[in-house]
Amino acid sequence: MLWLYVLAQGAPTSVTPVDAASNSIVGYILGYGPLGVIALALAWLTFKGWRLVSPAELTAIREAARNESRADLLAERDRILTEKQQAEDQRDEALTVARDQLAPLLTSFTAATSALLPILQEIIRDSPARRRRGGPGP
């Protein structure tokens, strides 16, 4: 900082339009053109700790992002719970259909098959194709 004071004391009075309103170090540095602007920007960034956004704004941004992600997760959880409930309802409905309709159908199928089995055996025993092959006849 001492070198800035020495430069300011040893500098002639400014005649540039940038520093016409005031005789200051900023005006003197800006008198160097783009190089002065860059030096002033680097000094400002160094003073601010290279932060372009204040810590309070960063905290607010992080909190907003956290709340948004939390809301997304809760919405996804609710969607998955709804799908799970629908799947359970479909499963319960399928079990009810199986119990009420398929079990009696299976019982009647078994009864019909056992009733038809002796008739089928008799048809096979008396079939003409069996006689042609030389099988035992009645």
28's tokens:
């003197």
Region 113-136: mean pLDDT is 76
Q: What is the C-alpha separation between 16 and 33, in angstroms, rounded? A: 11
Instruction: Look at residue 71 in the predicted model and tell me its pLDDT.
Output: 97
Q: Does residue 34 or residue 92 have the better pLDDT?
A: 92
- The Cα 67–Cα 73 span in angstroms is 10
Domain range summary for the chain, segments of one domain joined by +? 11-48, 54-125
3-state secondary structure of 126: coil
| pLDDT at 5 (0 to 100) | 61
Residue reference for tokens 């940038």 = 18
Task: Please name which of 21, 35, 26 lies closest in space to residue 11, comparing C-alpha atoms.
Answer: 26
| Average pLDDT estimate for 47-52 | 71
Comparing C-alpha atoms, which of 29, 57, 31 is closest to residue 44? 29
* Cα–Cα distance measured from residue 80 to residue 83, given in angstroms and rounded to the nearest whole number: 5
pLDDT tens per residue, range 2-29: 555 655 565 555 555 544 545 677 777 7
| Listed residue (53, 30, 54, 50) closest to 40, CA to CA | 30
In whole angstroms, give the CA distance from residue 59 to residue 121.
86
d(CA 101, CA 89) in angstroms, rounded, equals 18
CB distance 29 to 36 below 8 Å: yes
Indicate the pLDDT class of residue 86, thresholds 50, 70 and 90: very high
- Mapped onto helix, strand or coil, the DSSP state of residue 136 is coil
